[in-house]
Amino acid sequence: MTAILVSEVGPRDGLQSIKSIMPLAAKQAWIRAEAAAGVREIEVGSFVPPALLPQMADTPELVAFARTIPGLNVVALVPNAKGAARAVEAGVHGLSIPFSMSETHSLRNVRKDHPAMLAEIAAVAAIARAGGVHFAVGLSTAFGCTLEGAVPEDTVVRLAVAAAEAGAMEFSLSDTTGYADPAQVRRLVRRVRAEVGDLLTTLHLHNTRGLGLANALAGLDEGITTLDASLGGLGGCPYAPGASGNLVTEDLVLMLNAMGYETGIDLDQLIAVRTILAEALPGEPLYGFTPDAGPMLDYAERIAR
């Protein structure tokens, strides 16, 4: 049975894209409940200036809380070396930085062009190494950009190689704008992996156009072993207009478990976590087919195979 890591990114990618600010106690309850359901990695927040994203102001407190949960890999996003230093000081197990393949999006998102971002990646890599922290680079807008349109695959490959040379320990291909299709996922995973090898482990997918699960399956077929997802499909990108909807954790776990992949996640417990979100974020829409329809009648038999 193949093990697949489902990395929950809702507390970061989900919450950064909505106006409501979830109380710290509710975030802690969310993280605790998901870990109890078997989720082994959670991106608890990002180390960005609170003035830019007040939703993330309590990330240091969340890291400290999440570190008390046995077996949970606690990760956070950082925009730059300053954020990386704060993340390491807070005690994260791992950190990631978004590296937009679309230079227009990079300038809008982190105010840096590609050469400046490669220098920032090298600086973050040094901080991570010194702190004994894992460092991943998310190749954002790898499948297309709402600001530029198509992003050449040659550009993605070239920048991935440059980021590896700058010190990246791991890569994800990120469909920040929901532009990917399964054929494109297969092709780009193969091309990037041909240059950086097993450093490419992860897909970060959005379900903006309903292709999230199909794209996840295409990635699995190419050997991807980690899939990011957000409970209730919360999230998007505040600097990519129209890029709503992360891959729904509940739907992804149903698919993986039913297909015989090993996630370690109890689906019923996972669905129950939605109550915390619904109570803490009244009026915020939650997505997903599985919570409404429930698992198949033979779900237990499928996962027991």
Bridge partners of 77?
A: 46, 96
Q: Rounded CA gap, 219 and 74, in Å? A: 24
Q: Quick check: 185 and 153 in contact, CB under 8 A?
A: no
Residue 18's alpha-carbon distances to 141, 163, 245, 283, in angstroms, are 20, 30, 11, 11
The answer to whether 75 and 93 have CB atoms below 8 angstroms apart is yes
Q: How far is CA 180 from CA 96, 177, 196, 280, in A?
A: 21, 8, 21, 32
Instruction: Give the integer Cα–Cα distance in Å for 42 and 31.
Output: 7
Enter the DSSP assignment of 128: H
Length of the chain (residues): 305
**How far does CA 79 lie from the centroid of its chain?**
14
141, HSE (Cβ side, Cα atoms, 13 Å): 27
Residue 248 CA to residue 191 CA, distance in Å, equals 27
Name the catalytic one among 137, 157, 237, 267. Answer: 237
Query: Does the annotation mark 145 as catalytic?
Result: no
Contact 92, 59 (CB under 8 A): no
Q: Which residues are catalytic?
A: 237
